[in-house]
């Protein structure tokens, strides 16, 4: 929307002081508002500032040679024309004219650009408007909404209206929550997930667990311990799934480690049981209890929860029957297991009751194909 042959930027030459821009800003404020972009007026103004040179040929050189006394007058448009070349974002169903710098500052300060009155050409929102809204601390800045304004466009402008009712309370994001949000959003946006579900009969496994626990009073094996061991053995049998994705290649691990999701205050963390295929159930149980306890106290070392190619997430203790977990990049798979419950099944053409658990693996299709998963 900038007229042809209108100045769109001012370049300071070697030795010229940027303070001249601020000095020239005092005059232009009164003249530009009602007419076309300031740039056109700025082009005409330099002529009026040179009464001695009344020749009509003068204005063109004045724009082409900013060094011949033109800088102070020509500097005038620098404060306003720059926003005129910017894109026009869409917000709340209406076109909101704002400079890229203004939009970035608005995002950083939690200001809804659609609620800011622009002072630039044709009502365009510029940097000064965002800074003014921030300084005033009015509803435009929405200081109480935390990160919510950033999703306002996705709900067609309804969110700000809801927030103004005072029915919401801003919950600051912890560092952990920010990392979880960033990583899992990246995962769902960039990783082509696919899911495979099997119903597993647990009666034989539960009987084995009972035998272990009857022999030792000092250690109690859990179903989760048995699942960790099983996952390690499965990875050893299908090493093609024991990989991470780096973008331009796959990296296959030589050890079969299992990350285990542990819920902690404000989020979750995944301690790693290394060499799960070779460790005994007693060792796995003791290590898992120790790492889970230290994870909840925030005392795990980075090497104890970073790495691994495969993860296990168990929500069975909450009565969850079936769910699909999100892959934690750069890992390529995660197993989600639900509650072991008695269900009617058919065995030998007869209806019977068995303890059944649903297990769902999420796979990254870039690295793991359906049959392999």
Yes or no: say if 39 and 7 are a contact pair by the CB < 8 Å rule. Answer: yes
d(CA 153, CA 144): 18
Q: Which two structure tokens, joined as six digits, stand for 347? A: 């065995």
Strand partners, 263: 268
Q: Is 237 exposed, middle or buried (0-12, 13-18, 19+ CB in 10 A)?
A: exposed
Strand-pair category, 267-269 with 258-260? unpaired
Active site residue 365: yes
CB atoms within 10 A of CB 104: 13
| Residue 366 CB contacts under 8 Å (≥ 6 apart), including other chains | 191, 192, 245, 332
Yes or no: say if 231 and 248 are a contact pair by the CB < 8 Å rule. Answer: no
Strand partners, 293: none
Yes or no: say if 227 and 360 are a contact pair by the CB < 8 Å rule. Answer: no
Yes or no: say if 244 and 337 are a contact pair by the CB < 8 Å rule. Answer: no
Strand-pair category, 258-260 with 310-314? parallel
End-to-end CA distance of the chain: 55
Residues carrying an active site annotation: 365
């Amino acid at each position: 929307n900038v007229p042809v042959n209108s100045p769109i930027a001012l370049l300071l030459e070697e030795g010229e002081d940027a303070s001249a821009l601020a000095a020239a800003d005092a005059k232009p404020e009164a003249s530009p508002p009602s007419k076309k972009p300031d740039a056109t007026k700025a082009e005409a103004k330099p002529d009026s500032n040179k009464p001695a040179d009344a020749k009509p040929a003068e204005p063109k050189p004045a724009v082409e040679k900013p060094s011949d006394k033109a800088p102070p007058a020509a500097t005038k448009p620098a404060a306003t024309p720059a926003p005129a070349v910017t894109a026009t974002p869409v917000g709340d169903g209406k076109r909101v004219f704002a400079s890229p710098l203004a939009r970035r500052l608005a995002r950083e300060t939690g200001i809804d650009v659609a609620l800011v009155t622009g002072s630039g050409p044709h009502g365009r929102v510029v940097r000064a408007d965002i800074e003014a809204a921030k300084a005033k601390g009015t509803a435009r800045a929405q200081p109480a909404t935390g990160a919510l304004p950033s999703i306002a466009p996705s709900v067609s402008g309804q969110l700000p209206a809801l927030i103004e009712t005072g029915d919401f309370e801003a919950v600051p994001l912890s560092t952990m929550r920010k990392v979880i949000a960033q990583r899992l959003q990246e995962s769902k946006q960039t990783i082509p997930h696919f899911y495979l579900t099997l119903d597993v009969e647990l009666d034989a496994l539960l009987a084995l667990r009972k035998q272990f626990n009857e022999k030792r009073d000092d250690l109690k094996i859990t179903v989760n311990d048995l699942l960790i061991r099983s996952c390690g053995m499965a990875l050893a049998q299908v090493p093609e799934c024991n990989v991470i994705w780096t973008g331009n290649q796959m990296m296959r691990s030589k050890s079969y480690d299992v990350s285990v999701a542990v819920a902690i205050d404000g989020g979750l963390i995944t301690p790693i049981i290394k060499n799960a295929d070779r460790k005994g159930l007693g060792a796995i149980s003791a290590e898992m209890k120790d790492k889970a306890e230290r994870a909840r106290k925030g005392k795990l070392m980075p090497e104890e929860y970073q790495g691994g190619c495969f993860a296990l997430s168990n929500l069975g203790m909450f009565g969850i029957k079936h769910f699909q977990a999100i892959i934690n990049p750069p890992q390529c798979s995660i197993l989600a297991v639900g509650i072991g419950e008695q269900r009617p099944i058919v065995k030998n053409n007869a209806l019977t009751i068995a303890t059944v658990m649903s297990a769902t693996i999420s796979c990254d299709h870039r690295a793991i194909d359906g049959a392999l998963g």
